[in-house]
Amino acid sequence: MSATVSQVSPSAATVTTSPAYNFHSFTLIGAVVAAATTFATISVALPAWAMFLGWVGYSTSGQTIRDGVANLISFLLGVAFGVGTALLIVALTPILGNAATPVCIFGDVVLVLSLRALPPINNPLAYFLGLISFFASAKAPSVSTLAILSIAGVIGALGAGVAGFLQSRAQRVG
């Protein structure tokens, strides 16, 4: 971790750090925040895997907090779409039989891919991560399931935001 001071002008000096410092500080900050976020998630009896889907959803595109919030909204809408889709599958199964699931999934994909034209909540990957969160939970569609997965996702997004903020500060302070 070697730093050197170079004189830019008589009144200002800048500090440059080694690439190794930048690499390791970025990694350690991410790991510490992820561990703390995981602890917070399991401490309130929420699934850590759902928290990480929210973390990834927040981080899928863009670099600003505004981008992350838009991604989080897309993720949360994806969770809600999953709940709605499951209810629709249950309603349509007596009529369509085994075709109910692919018909509903077709509708989901059309909806999600059409929303890519609706900035700022136009991140299909975040929507799909929300859908995955619901379907991977293997829970019945309910307000409770929606709340559990959404809160876990929000905790993950907060962790991603904190990690990104601290990592950018470490790179600037370096």
Q: Give CA–CA dist 168/162, Å, rounded.
A: 10
Q: What is the pLDDT of residue 103?
A: 98
Q: What is the pLDDT of residue 63?
A: 84
Interhelix angle 48-59/65-96, rounded to 10 degrees, is: 120
Q: What is the pLDDT of residue 8?
A: 45
pLDDT means over runs of 10, the chain (174 residues): 44 63 93 98 98 97 92 98 98 98 97 96 97 97 98 98 93 73
Q: What is the pLDDT of residue 21?
A: 85
Q: What is the pLDDT of residue 15?
A: 52
Nearest to 150 by CA among 51, 9, 35, 21: 51
What pTM was computed for the model? Answer: 0.86
Q: What is the pLDDT of residue 7?
A: 45
Q: What is the pLDDT of residue 3?
A: 45
